[in-house]
């Protein structure tokens, strides 16, 4: 079921719900520049067997209002959009799953509106915390010294399509998925091509907004609130993520009070069909109240 939610005057967000209306709500928050359709249908359908699953388009993506050019906003305000989606759909509390920027926004919800979350699952993201990373040997690493985005990856993401037209744009997006996905798994080009073709058809345009790169990123830190949160949190460690590589998942698990850590071997900064099973199994076990973690907060499998 599709509904548009007005989050402020003149700004509407596209939302879609799947699954039983009386099932526990589960909100999916996707990353920067990504439509809600970035959550693949097959993954959503599996989650919808147990949940009322909600996915939505951020501002300046998909069918939602493209407003940044005339009404700039801060990245932090996108977390309030997620809260407004819950309000608009009449959902008091939800399990929330956030990937990449969606993981950052989920942490803001955990800190600012913990009463709205039944649980949180975070993947392929970084901590909005200044807590140093603790190695197994007892030494610590300041947040500023954790690995950043490699320059070559920045350059690759900025490289334009080879020419005009849909095929050239799809080729550009597939090239990006190749570098964001794990080198440990065979690359499923057909899956990502169909995914991106569907997103372009959904959006009605090949345009990619520059809003997320231009938006003010101030006011994101929630160090104390995350260290004191009571929201049950699962960190899915993307062991092959080139954008936020290890030890970022282990650092995130250390920053969030009580967080549990589960490795997903071969997970990069993408959602390939080969990993739908492990991902949905982990999410559903967590939302059901079980702890499918391999390490409590403050410990890790690898810290190198």
Among 89, 87, 96, 74, which residue's Cα sits nearest to residue 29?
96
Cα-to-chain-centroid distance, residue 217 = 16
Question: Is 61 within 8 Å of 202 (Cβ atoms)?
Answer: no
Distance in angstroms (rounded) separating the CA atoms of residues 44 and 242? 24
Residues assigned a catalytic role:
100, 241, 269
Find, among 57, 100, 60, 63, the residue nearest to 82 by Cα: 57
Domains annotated for the chain, with CATH where assigned, are: 2-143+209-296 (3.40.50.1820)
**Six-digit token pair at 99?**
């990937």
pLDDT of residue 72: 95
Tens-level pLDDT at each residue, the chain (304 residues) = 999 999 999 999 999 999 999 999 999 999 998 999 999 999 999 999 999 999 999 999 999 999 999 999 999 999 999 999 999 999 999 999 999 999 999 999 999 999 999 999 999 999 999 999 999 999 999 999 999 887 878 888 888 888 889 999 999 999 999 999 988 999 999 999 999 999 999 999 998 888 998 999 999 999 999 999 999 999 999 999 999 999 999 999 999 999 999 999 999 999 999 999 999 999 999 999 843 332 333 333 333 3
Q: Please state the length of the chain.
A: 304
pLDDT of res. 300: 34
pTM of the model: 0.93
């Amino acid at each position: 079921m599709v509904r548009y939610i007005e989050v402020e005057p003149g700004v509407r967000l596209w939302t879609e719900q799947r699954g039983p209306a009386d099932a526990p709500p589960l909100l999916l928050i996707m990353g920067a520049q990504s439509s809600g359709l970035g959550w693949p249908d097959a993954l959503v359908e599996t989650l919808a067997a147990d949940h009322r699953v909600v996915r939505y388009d951020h501002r300046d993506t998909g069918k939602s209002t493209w407003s940044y050019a005339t009404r700039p906003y801060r990245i932090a305000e996108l977390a309030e959009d997620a809260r407004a989606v819950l309000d608009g759909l009449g959902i008091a509390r939800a399990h929330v799953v956030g990937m990449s920027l969606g993981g950052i926004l989920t942490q803001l919800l955990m800190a600012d509106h913990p009463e709205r979350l039944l649980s949180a699952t975070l993947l392929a993201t970084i901590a909005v915390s200044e807590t140093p990373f603790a190695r197994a040997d007892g030494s610590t690493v300041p947040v500023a010294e954790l690995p950043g985005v490699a320059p070559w990856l920045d350059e690759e993401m900025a490289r334009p399509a080879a020419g005009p037209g849909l095929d050239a744009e799809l080729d550009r997006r597939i090239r990006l998925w190749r570098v964001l996905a794990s080198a440990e798994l065979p690359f499923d080009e057909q899956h990502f091509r169909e995914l991106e073709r569907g997103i372009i058809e959904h959006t009605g345009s090949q345009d990619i907004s520059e809003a997320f790169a231009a938006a003010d990123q101030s006011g994101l830190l929630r160090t104390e609130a995350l260290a004191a949160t009571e929201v049950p949190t699962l960190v899915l460690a993307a062991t092959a993520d080139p954008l936020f590589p290890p030890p970022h998942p282990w650092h995130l698990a250390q920053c969030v009070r009580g967080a549990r850590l589960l490795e997903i071997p071969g997970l990069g900064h993408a959602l390939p069909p080969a990993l739908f099973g492990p991902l949905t199994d982990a999410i559903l076990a967590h939302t059901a109240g079980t702890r499918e973690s391999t390490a409590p907060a403050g410990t890790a499998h690898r810290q190198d």
